[in-house]
Amino acid sequence: MRMKPTALVTGAGRGIGRAIVLDLAREGYDIAGVDILYEPKNDKSGLFEVKACAEESGSVFLPVRGDIADLEGHGRILEEVLGRFGKIDLLVNNAGVAPAVRADILETAVESFDRVFGVNARGTFFFTQKIARQMIAQVQENPEARPAIIFITSISASVSSPSRAEYCISKAALSQAAALFADRLAEHGINVYEIRPGIIKTDMTAPVKEKYDSLIAEGLVPQKRWGYPEDVGKAVAALAKGFFPYSTGLILEVSGGMNIRRL
């Protein structure tokens, strides 16, 4: 009997992470979802609501409590996932935070910079390092294995937004991390991809909804609408299907055409 592929998704409790989990569940993955919020009695939102929805598609979903910024906790997360599934075929680095308060770059606080960078760049880098070592061991044990890693970054990796400098810098760093891991892991047959979402309607963008409503109406986004978490989920599922075997290091922008240079 063929074992189902297993995905590990960080920041899986809501928004983009939730959409990624549900699309992967529909593609036949069993999934471990990591989130800092872990509320077993909450069936309306969070990891356990996601668990119920994923299992409707026939998947096994393992909720895992974890803060990606906590490097000491990475080993426990890996142990929990391997204890349940025995392997990791796909890592989706989705966990991320925005500044608690948007501030001009000349007023960026050290505390805010460290918090955002700690999750988005530092924590994700070292978490990927740990999972990559596990994936290499899996390939050495089974040369037919083809694990993959997907980084969810942002158009902010290359687009200036001086009111949230720490976020842009963290996403630019994460984009470079994706390229570095793609380069290093290619010899092991482990493909690494980067997805750059544009303006996505989530809790993170809710405080600036009116601003983006106006900008979208004025033509900032060629496709003239907000992006939705499901748009990113579909992109992850497309990469997870393995249809891009000769494209490690690929950057896939999901932004409604904001990548188009226009006059």
Catalytic residues: 167
How many residues in total does the chain contain? Answer: 263
CB atoms within 10 A of CB 79: 10
Query: What residue ranges in the chain does DSSP mark as E strands?
Result: 6-10, 30-35, 61-65, 90-93, 148-152, 191-197, 251-254
Contact 157, 175 (CB under 8 A): yes
CA atoms within 13 A on the CB side of 86: 4
- Continuous segment of H or E residues that includes residue 115: helix 110-117
Contact 107, 48 (CB under 8 A): no
